[in-house]
Amino acid sequence: MTPITSHGVARTSQYRLRSPAASRSWRLVAEYAFAPDALPGVGFARLVRPDRHLKGSEVSDDMSDDMSGGDTNGGDTVVSSWPTPFPDTAVDRRTPTLQERDRAVAEEQSQGLADSAGATTIDETLADLFAERRQLAGDSIVQFEVAGTATDRQTLVVRGELLLRRSAALLDNPEVGAILREYGFLGHPDDPSDTESGPGSERPVGDGFDTRTAAVDAADPPVDSTTSDEEPGAPRRLAGEVPIGCRELDRHLARFVAAGVDVRQRREAIGRLAAVDVTAALTAVESLQPPKKPAPVVVKHTSGASPAEVADADSHASVAAGTSKRRVLVAVIDTGISRQRRTDGWLEDVERSPGGIDLLDAFPVSSPAVVPANRLLDFGAGHGTFAAGIIRQVDPLAEIRMYAALDSDGLGSELTVACAMIQAVKDGAQVINLSLGMRTVDNQPSMAIELALDLIDELTECRETPVFVAAAGNFGDTQPVWPAASRRVVAVGGLTPAGSQPAAPAVWSSRGVWVDCSTVGQGIVSTYVEGIEDPAFGGHDTFDPNPWAVWTGTSFAAPQIAGAIARTIRETGLPPQSAARRLIRAGTPIADFGRAMTILPGS
């Protein structure tokens, strides 16, 4: 069992049950989240099929005791190097001069993360800048506000939005409608325009993509269009309900929007709804957590050996045609991929579908909205392209598919991410990478993402269960970050590389008993996008055609693990969950960082 500390999370109790509908054992898993200021005993339970998911104690309990590694003294471990599952990926092909230059940049990025690690408040200047850049868009993109958490920290939530879990109590109890009306979600009782005629005026979150909203509209998931009332199995709706637009989620969640209702009022409404047996939550905002914008690097090395040669389009096609191994579909749920086409062959085979495009320059929004906005790269521009390049470096034969769930400033609704997760699995993804994360106001899992994982369990009942991999976060503490902290997601922490100092857990990385594994997250080199950084965020670099960059954070540790799992599936023929288990078991156990390994060398 996972040990409990005074500031721990994700205590798991397991009980064996027998499913009356099947000849297999099931496991009742009760999970609780604990924090210094959290209410004890608050949790949830669910039935989970055995051997389908991988998390924390369920990994370590099965591991042999003959694993040897560094000292596990609460994150202070230092070693000369970590185990390397694929020796070819850990080779640094840069010249010593380039390595030293990139190391200096990476150390600056790492220090920037370390300086902000453990902060309990959100940078007001940055939050105000984000809000100002999107205010003219109205409700066409995610608008956010700052909310306090149960542990006296701050997080972002979607402005004026409330999610309710569908139930008999929701539909049949008149008190529910009275509460929603009182707080402004069904209109004012004296407003003659407020009728019981149907959904509210806000547009559904999934009414399709166009060239403007593909990556910017965090209310537009890359999924099927909205459920109609005539569709078989369509949910009964309350007046004023705003469709989510992802039919799977629409059947289980009800979304209400009232822009003038602040966080305090919505939390009061949640408490009163709980008293009548209706589960409700604020809609969380998923975000990127980069320390700074990336820095340009050069990858044309004097040795002649270059990662670009590995991912050349022609050689990739010949290798794929000449192997009997299957290609593994890896979904990248992020900002999407740039429409820019490189001439060096990297990522050439990645489809540029409407729901997977990173617009790069969508902010600040003007009226009417115009793209490009100011001919400068947005805060989150290129993040998805960078993650995709990491996966390609680790598994050159991976088939990569992009889902733009975050806008080019790096923000998105949990609903968008949840819908993208479902769609990726429906599209056949075996590994799904999520280089994003959030804290929730109650330290409990995101309602929409946990529901998506439940629905995905049902979708994959008779086939291989995919593996979700997520960044643990760059907060430098043990507070859970979602979706990484979910027991059905592989949480990836960050390490520093061996160099002038011994390799060690990164002080800026989130950590805890919920982290499954860790790899180098400092100074990772990968594909980037052409353009000029927006000086509003302190950037000053220009990226030429076919650009590469160096970047630091758990966002860039997670895709290494995703690529390594894909490669393990391809090379061993194991199903995704078994491949993930084999990979993680090969790492060195480190307290609060899971199992540590080196995949890419870092800087």
The residue type found at 590 is I
Q: Please give the Cα distance from 339 to 71 (Å, whole number).
A: 46
Spatial CA neighbour of 141 closest among 126, 162, 159: 159
- 394 inside domain: no
At residue 123, does pLDDT exceed 90?
Answer: no
pLDDT category at 169 given cuts 50, 70, 90 is confident
Lowest mean pLDDT among 97-101, 135-139, 467-471: 135-139
- 54 inside domain: yes
Q: What is the pLDDT of residue 500?
A: 59
Q: What is the pLDDT of residue 171?
A: 79
- The predicted model gives 96-116 an average pLDDT of 87
Instruction: Domain count for the chain, please give it.
Output: 1
Q: What is the pLDDT of residue 188?
A: 44
- Greater confidence (324 vs 248) lies with 248
Q: Please give the Cα distance from 115 to 569 (Å, whole number).
A: 38
- The predicted model gives 240-267 an average pLDDT of 91
Q: What is the pLDDT of residue 435?
A: 97
Q: What is the pLDDT of residue 101?
A: 87
- 66 inside domain: no
Q: What is the pLDDT of residue 55?
A: 66
- Greater confidence (40 vs 349) lies with 349
Lowest mean pLDDT among 206-210, 269-273, 379-383, 469-473: 206-210
- 523 inside domain: no
Range of the domain at 26: 11-60
- Chain centroid to CA 204: 22
For 495, what's the count of Cα atoms within 13 Å in the CB-facing half-sphere? 39
Q: What is the pLDDT of residue 122?
A: 80
| Tokens at 80, concatenated | 């000369």
Lowest mean pLDDT among 50-59, 358-367, 402-411, 551-560: 50-59
Q: What is the pLDDT of residue 584?
A: 97
Q: What is the pLDDT of residue 295?
A: 63
- 43 inside domain: yes
- 336 inside domain: no
Instruction: Give 485-538 pLDDT, tens digit per residue.
Output: 999 999 999 999 987 577 799 999 999 999 999 999 999 999 999 999 999 888
| Contacts made by residues 103-106, CB under 8 angstroms, sequence distance 24+ | 103/499, 103/500, 103/523, 103/603, 105/295, 105/523, 105/550, 105/603, 106/522, 106/523, 106/550, 106/552, 106/602, 106/603
Q: What is the pLDDT of residue 569?
A: 97
Q: What is the pTM of this model?
A: 0.81
**Burial code of 21-58, b = ≥16 C-beta within 10 A, e = fewer?**
eeeeebbebebbbbbeebeeeeeeebebbebbbbbbbb
Instruction: Give 39-97 pLDDT, tens digit per residue.
Output: 223 333 333 344 456 665 455 444 333 333 334 333 455 555 788 999 999 888 888 88
Q: Please give the Cα distance from 262 to 265 (Å, whole number).
A: 5
- Greater confidence (190 vs 148) lies with 148
Question: CA-based angle 198:203:206, to the nearest 5?
Answer: 110
Q: What is the pLDDT of residue 149?
A: 82
Residue 320 CB contacts under 8 Å (≥ 6 apart), including other chains: 327, 397
Q: What is the pLDDT of residue 80?
A: 55
The residue type found at 91 is V
Question: CA-based angle 353:363:432, to the nearest 5?
Answer: 40
Hunting for tokens 């850049």 — which residue is that?
Answer: 133
- The predicted model gives 438-451 an average pLDDT of 91
Q: What is the pLDDT of residue 347?
A: 96
Q: What is the pLDDT of residue 198?
A: 33
- The predicted model gives 560-579 an average pLDDT of 97
pLDDT category at 152 given cuts 50, 70, 90 is confident
Instruction: Give 256-282 pLDDT, tens digit per residue.
Output: 999 889 999 999 999 999 999 999 999
At residue 565, does pLDDT exceed 90?
Answer: yes
Q: What is the pLDDT of residue 221?
A: 37
- 566 inside domain: no
The residue count of the chain comes to 603
Q: What is the pLDDT of residue 54?
A: 64
Q: What is the pLDDT of residue 409?
A: 93
Q: What is the pLDDT of residue 292?
A: 54
Spatial CA neighbour of 435 closest among 307, 355, 521, 512: 521
Q: What is the pLDDT of residue 463?
A: 87
What percent of the chain stands above pLDDT 90?
Answer: 51
Q: In this structure, what are the phi and psi dihedrals at residue 197, rounded to the nearest 5 degrees? A: -85, -15
Q: What is the pLDDT of residue 61?
A: 42
Are 386 and 419 contacting, i.e. CB atoms less than 8 angstroms apart? no
Hunting for tokens 């009332």 — which residue is that?
Answer: 229
Bridge-based pairing state of the strands 431-434 and 357-358:
unpaired
Query: What radius of gyration do the chain's Cα atoms show?
Result: 23
- 34 inside domain: yes
Q: Please give the Cα distance from 295 to 307 (Å, whole number).
A: 18
